[in-house]
Amino acid sequence: MLARAVLAAFGIPVLCVLGWLGGWWWYVPVAIVTIIALGEYYSACYAKGWRPYALAGYVWALVLLYPPLFVPERAWPLTASFFLAATLSLCVLGLIPPRKSYAASVAATVFGLAYIALPMTFLSHLRHVDVPALLGFTGGWSFAHRMGAVLLALFPVWASDTGAFLAGGLLGRHKLAPVLSPNKTVEGAVGGLLFTVAAAALLGIPWLRMPAATALEFGLLVGVACQLGDLVESALKRDLGVKDFGTLLGPHGGVLDRFDGLLVAMPVAYLYLMAALPPHASAPGL
């Protein structure tokens, strides 16, 4: 917990400054995190005996991250086109020369893009959702308009980790998914969900001026999504035969181990906000 607190004390202010600046200031750190997480996944695949096309995966990941930030008005068709192009190019790459496990190599590479790179694009998609303005509040500090949706997605997920850790450690008795993750408990999951809803309410209602029901519903959906993300990563680690995807963060594992819940929660957060807020919810000029 102390290590997490220290990391948050230094990391959150940097995140806020870079996100507020936008442009390449935002693209570069998101790209670095994405490439590190993708590298951890590809390394685990190699250890399993699969042979993903890691270099091609890194290049396509950088391409996928570009449209949501720099051309948001055409982000969705461009991203879909780039992902299709990545898939087809990897199918062709596998022929020159053909690898022993052609299907596994191509599939493992594409899955990395779908599981890591595409969800990471939502850090930029969320930055273009101006929550206060959509609710009729156009004044105030511009930071809330630029980074409000991003932090509304990130903080509840981080709160979920804290709540699950505390509740699981103090009250945990019943296993949640013993086959996938023996350490997760039902009590921890409930604690994480309560912390997620509370964080969404504390951030969304007074700061972003969301209706209470909307903020609570958002927290509930994001809470469920991030815990599903944890279980997805646990299933993936079990299949690949690794305890953690990396050692960059010491006892907390690698970058992918810390972003597992976010990979599912960020798309859910974005889709909910776009559905719950008016149609003019995007602000490409931010």
Amino acid at 162: T
Measure CA of the first residue to CA of the last residue in the chain; give whole Å: 35
- Asked whether the predicted pLDDT for residue 238 surpasses 80, the reply is yes
Q: pLDDT-derived band of residue 52, with 50, 70 and 90 as boundaries?
A: very high
pLDDT at 284: 47
pLDDT in tens, 19-49: 889 999 999 999 999 999 999 999 999 988 8
Q: Which of 56-65, 148-157, 238-247 has the weakest average pLDDT?
A: 238-247
Q: Which of 51-65, 158-172, 173-187 shows the lowest mean pLDDT across its residues?
A: 173-187
Identify the CA nearest to 256 among candidates 104, 119, 135: 119
Whole-prediction pTM: 0.89
Q: What is the mean pLDDT of residues 237-246?
A: 84
The 3-state secondary structure of the chain, one letter per residue: CHHHHHHHHHHHHHHHHHHHHCCHHHHHHHHHHHHHHHHHHHHHHHHHCCCCCHHHHHHHHHHHHHHHHHCHHHHHHHHHHHHHHHHHHHHHHCECCECCCHHHHHHHHHHHHHHHHHHHCHHHHHHCECHHHHCCCCCCCHHHHHHHHHHHHHHHHHHHHHHHHHHHHHHCCCEEECCCEEEEEHHHHHHHHHHHHHHHHHHHCCCCCCCHHHHHHHHHHHHHHHHHHHHHHHHHHHHHCCCCCCCCCHHHCCHHHHHHHHHHHHHHHHHHHHHHCCCCCECCCC
Tell me: pLDDT of 3 over 80.
no
Cα–Cα dist 102/113, whole Å: 17
What mean pLDDT is reported for the chain? Answer: 87
pLDDT of 92 above 90? yes
Q: Is the pLDDT of residue 285 over 70?
A: no
Q: Is the pLDDT score of 281 beyond 50? A: no
> Looking at 31-40, 107-116, 139-148, 258-267, which range is the least confident one?
139-148
Contact by Cβ (8 Å): 257, 43: no
Q: What is the pLDDT of residue 166?
A: 84
Mean pLDDT check: name the lowest of 58-62, 80-84, 127-131, 138-142.
Answer: 138-142
Paired tokens of 218: 């958002």
Peptide bond into 156 cis (omega under 30): no
pLDDT band at 257 (very low <50, low <70, confident <90, very high): confident
Across 104-113, 182-191, 267-276, least confident range: 182-191
Residue 279 is predicted with a pLDDT of 58
Closest CA to 209 of 255, 148, 284: 148
**Least confident segment among 35-39, 187-191, 227-231:** 187-191
Does residue 120 carry a pLDDT above 60?
Answer: yes
Confirm if 255 and 246 have CB atoms less than 8 A apart.
yes
